[in-house]
Amino acid sequence: MTGALSDALELIRSLKVQFPDETDDQLISRFLKEREGDQAFKRAVLRDVLNHLLRELGERKPPRPPSSMTGPELKVIRKSLGLTRSGFGQKLGCKGNKNTLSIQIRRFESGARPIPEWIARRAMAIAKKEAH
């Protein structure tokens, strides 16, 4: 949380303590009166709230780092082990029933979902172990 938003929350909390019986609208009016004329502060708070909402909606998510393994590579490992998708999911340590595991692995293999790094590492470790 940024400074402006933290300051705003602190002011609202103190107003709630001073005026516990007031409605939210009354507290907002008091907040605005306290910061009357401080347009830069109001703008900073609104910008922080907007950015927070956009992040919640997924519109400003940081890009996910690329996985070290592709779907086809994961599929080659699974097939070389002679495992079903659900069996491979269990061996990897994924959670869920057989149907859920099968769907999860299918999505990874098809590229519909990026492969988490921990799954890529575990798949490589299993492949190396089984090769020896």
For the chain, give every residue range classified as CATH 1.10.260. 71-131
SS3 content of the chain, % helix, strand, coil (to 5): 70, 0, 30
Question: pLDDT category, 107, cuts 50, 70, 90?
Answer: very high
CATH of domain 71-131: 1.10.260
Question: pLDDT category, 67, cuts 50, 70, 90?
Answer: confident
Q: Which of 19-33, 50-64, 65-79, 106-120 has the lowest mean pLDDT?
A: 50-64
